[in-house]
Amino acid sequence: MRTGDYKQSYGELVTLIDSPPVWLWSTVLVLALVVAPYVLNAYALSFLTIILITVVGALGLNILTGYTGLISLGHVGFLLTGAYGYAVLVSKYQLPPLVGFLGAGLVPAAASLIVGAPSLRLKGLYLAITTLAFSFIINTVILEMRWLTNGARGIAVQRPEIFGVSFESDAAFTHLCLATAILTLFATLNIRRSRVGRAFVAIRDNDTAARVMGINLHAYKLLAFVTSAFITGIAGALYGIYLSFVNVEGFPFLLSIEALAILIVGGLGSALGAVLGTVLIVLLPEATRLVFSLFSAQMDAMFTTGAQELKSMLYGLVIILFLRFQPRGLVGVWHDLKRTWVNWPLRY
Amino acid sequence: MSALLTVENLSKRFGGLQAVADVSLSVTAGEICSVIGPNGAGKTTLFNMISGVLRPSGGRISFDGIDLATVSPWRFAAIGIGRTFQNLALFKHGTVVENILTGRHAHLRSTVLDAIIHFGRTRTEEIAARRHVERIIEFLEIEQIRDAVVGTLSYGQQKRVELARALACEPKLLLLDEMVSGMNQEETEDIARFVLDIRDELGITVLMIEHEMRIVMDISDRVHVLNFGRKIAEGTPAEIRNSPAVAEAYLGRQRADQAAGVSA
């Protein structure tokens, strides 16, 4: 049983990870993920890539909905503008991919100012509906701006080459997604433990008290929108590259629901929760398919033909189950396990 | 000593209800002032206007030479007004330390980009903030609960955390809204001692709303009495104790006369 929690300087009190075992296991996990693309087959690798891209998007939504408590049903709009930002800059105007990624962040960030402005007055359900409307408007705008976006035909996107390193192969592209996911995770954790993150959480928990503490509610709500949209846009660009083709049909509304499901299943307001939730939600349809295919080939066929419908049903089901039985999400389960492990054989 | 806070002819109207009417008062730097009055007298509304939660319908508040009507509500913390709330307004999912750190907000500078990189300035700033928080924790004797999640603490402890959070703003004027309501004798005496220490050691002027008359009479330098939104009396605790208007507000005319008769 580990005991005590001794700090010798204030620097140690503000570090991100204060326990050597956590450092060790995180490093082991990262190394495993670096090696994974060479070990896994193409099918499993595609899941890993999707998980890494989705982690970025989920962390983006987590800043807005998890930390700041502003519910967004329109995050697919930011994914879409991010993907188009990248595709237009890189495929259409032949700019370097890094500029493309910057654009993939900045275009949704600018769009978020428009959808964020009403959020200064709206809360809860009303805000959710506003953001929902935003994602549909964005869809239409992209379809109509044919001179820039090719309308419904979409834009083909190549795998990028950055600083002479080609990310053409699946393994290399997975590494790019891994690096982005890790950077985003650190960015999110760093925001959370700083003045800005505390302001976000303060707005979520009690906005009157937040303002009395000197937090500018308007500025910080917009900042949450901008930061969240920027990160989500990067995820959108990666997803576009992964699909190798950006059009509105590649980004169905279901992605917004999936993102919310991830946060609820993982545990709202926790970066670790967003990661755990992503793994579960991305693998859930596949795991369900595997289980059912054990029973009959007919079931298997049903999953192939009605994949989207079954996905939305599954997401609905896990959201209900988690809200009913484990509202703190997977991160709550994780904390309970950790406590049991540390205190065993005592209860607490 | 000059007036730190001057309230002139302040009014607040909610539809047909005149919550605060034509109230004037001033608080001198270094004083402990109390605002008392029966329920619904407009005390909390007065506080809400002074702390920027509500905008006045009429009148003027000037603080430290600044007309508060010209200042955005979220800047009130930066110019030196801190407060606690009557019905706890803590960030209940956070730990005690996090709550108090949030109180440092107005004194920190890092932007979202600094925060992401979290190196150099932000790190120095965070360490300094953490050190400051530790001093407040020690001052209010809440070392035992510093890592506890606020939602799990008792009412008295949460009140103390709220006081700590307000102190982290380093206010010049601290507004305490019914700090000791619902506290037992021992907790009440602790708070009275802290309020005196806050004034004497930290040099913070205190304006408090209080129903608990013992603490009002024991530690206030001046007492202001509100009834139905109007100020009916002002003076030292001794003067207020003997004021017929105050006795009438609390007890009604007949009882007040009887009480006066008994004491005479």
Q: What is the ipTM of this complex?
A: 0.91
State the smallest CA–CA distance between residue A281 and chain B in angstroms.
Answer: 25
Classify burial at B185, counting beta carbons within 10 Å of its beta carbon; exposed 0-12, middle 13-18, buried 19 or more.
exposed
Region for B9 from its dihedrals, namely left if φ exceeds 0, alpha if ψ lies in -120 to 50, beta otherwise: left
Query: A16 contacts in B (CB within 8 Å)?
Result: 118
Dump the DSSP string for B137-166.
HHHTT-GGGTTSBGGGS-HHHHHHHHHHHH
Residue count (chain A): 348
Q: What is the DSSP letter of B75?
A: G
Interface touch A195/B98, C-beta < 8 Å: no
Q: Quick one: fold of B1-80+171-237?
A: Rossmann fold (3.40.50)
Q: So what's the pLDDT on residue A3?
A: 56
Q: How many CB atoms lie within 10 A of CB A93?
A: 10
Per residue in A139-173, pLDDT tens?
Answer: 999 999 888 888 888 898 988 888 888 888 899 99
| Integer angstrom CA distances of residue A320 from A122, A128, A312, A315 | 26, 19, 12, 9
Interface test with B, best of A192, A198, A227 (most B CBs within 10 A): A198
Q: Whole-angstrom Cα distance, residue B4 to residue B26?
A: 8
Q: So what's the pLDDT on residue A1?
A: 45
Residue A79 amino acid letter:
L
Interface touch B130/A191, C-beta < 8 Å: no
Interface touch B106/A195, C-beta < 8 Å: no
For A12, nearest residue in chain B (alpha carbons)? B127
Whether the CB of B92 is below 8 Å from some CB of chain A: the reply is: yes
A52 neighbors A177 (Cβ within 8 angstroms): yes
Structure tokens at B235: 């003076």
Q: Whole-angstrom Cα distance, residue A331 to residue B171?
A: 38
- Tell me if residue A183 falls in helix, strand or coil: helix
Residue A302 scores a pLDDT above 80: no
Per residue in B49-85, pLDDT tens?
Answer: 999 999 999 999 999 999 999 999 999 999 999 999 9
**Stronger pLDDT, A297 or B71, i.e. the higher one:** B71
Whether the CB of B51 is below 8 Å from some CB of chain A: the reply is: yes
Structure tokens at A224: 């949450």
Per residue in A125-135, pLDDT tens?
Answer: 888 999 999 99
Q: Whole-angstrom Cα distance, residue A163 to residue A187?
A: 23
Half-sphere exposure of B34 (CA within 13 A, CB side): 26
Q: What is the DSSP letter of B95?
A: B
A206 neighbors B91 (Cβ within 8 angstroms): yes
User: Nearest Cβ partner of A196 from B75, B91, B112?
Assistant: B112
Query: B109 contacts in A (CB within 8 Å)?
Result: 195
Residue whose tokens read 């999110």:
A188
Whether the CB of A208 is below 8 Å from some CB of chain B: the reply is: yes
Residue count (chain B): 264
Indicate the pTM of the whole model.
Answer: 0.92
b/e per residue, A166-202, with b = 16+ CB within 10 A?
A: ebeebbebbbbbbebbbebbebbbbbbbbbbbbbbbb
Q: So what's the pLDDT on residue A2?
A: 54
Closest to A277 measured CA to CA, from A204, A328, A336: A328
User: Nearest Cβ partner of A208 from B89, B94, B134?
Assistant: B89
B110 neighbors B142 (Cβ within 8 angstroms): no
Domain ranges in chain A? 10-253
Q: How confident is the model at residue A108 (pLDDT cuts 50, 70, 90)?
A: very high
Whether the CB of B123 is below 8 Å from some CB of chain A: the reply is: yes
Interface test with A, best of B90, B105, B122, B167 (most A CBs within 10 A): B105
Domain ranges in chain B? 1-80+171-237, 91-170
Structure tokens at B112: 């979202």
Query: A10 contacts in B (CB within 8 Å)?
Result: 127, 130-131, 134
User: Nearest Cβ partner of B115 from A13, A16, A197?
Assistant: A197
For B106, nearest residue in chain A (alpha carbons)? A214
Whether the CB of A187 is below 8 Å from some CB of chain B: the reply is: yes
Diameter of chain B measured on Cα atoms: 73
Structure tokens at B244: 């017929």
B61 neighbors B49 (Cβ within 8 angstroms): yes
Interface touch B169/A194, C-beta < 8 Å: no
**Stronger pLDDT, A56 or A347, i.e. the higher one:** A56
Q: So what's the pLDDT on residue B177?
A: 93
Kindly give the pairing relationship between strand A155-156 and strand A245-246: antiparallel
State the smallest CA–CA distance between residue A269 and chain B in angstroms.
Answer: 10
Q: What is the DSSP letter of B40?
A: T
> Average pLDDT of A245-261?
91
Interface test with B, best of A195, A211, A216 (most B CBs within 10 A): A195
Stretches where chain B sits below pLDDT 70 are: 1, 261-264
Structure tokens at B234: 């002002």
Q: Whole-angstrom Cα distance, residue B98 to residue A192?
A: 11
Q: What is the DSSP letter of A2?
A: -
Interface touch B89/A206, C-beta < 8 Å: yes
Whether the CB of A336 is below 8 Å from some CB of chain B: the reply is: no
In B148-229, DSSP assigns E strands to 173-177, 205-209, 222-227
Please provide residue B251's backbone torsions phi and psi, each rounded to the nearest 5 degrees: -110, -15
Whether the CB of B103 is below 8 Å from some CB of chain A: the reply is: yes
In CATH, what is the architecture of A10-253?
Answer: Orthogonal Bundle (1.10)
A residues 224-283 closer than 8 Å to B (CB)? 227, 269
Measured torsion, CA atoms of residues A266, A55, A151, A141, in degrees rounded to the nearest 10? 60
| Integer angstrom CA distances of residue B259 from A67, A139, A229, A294, B235 | 56, 76, 67, 88, 20
Interface touch B115/A213, C-beta < 8 Å: no
State the smallest CA–CA distance between residue B260 and chain A in angstroms.
Answer: 43
For chain A, what is the mean pLDDT? Answer: 89
> Average pLDDT of A283-291?
86
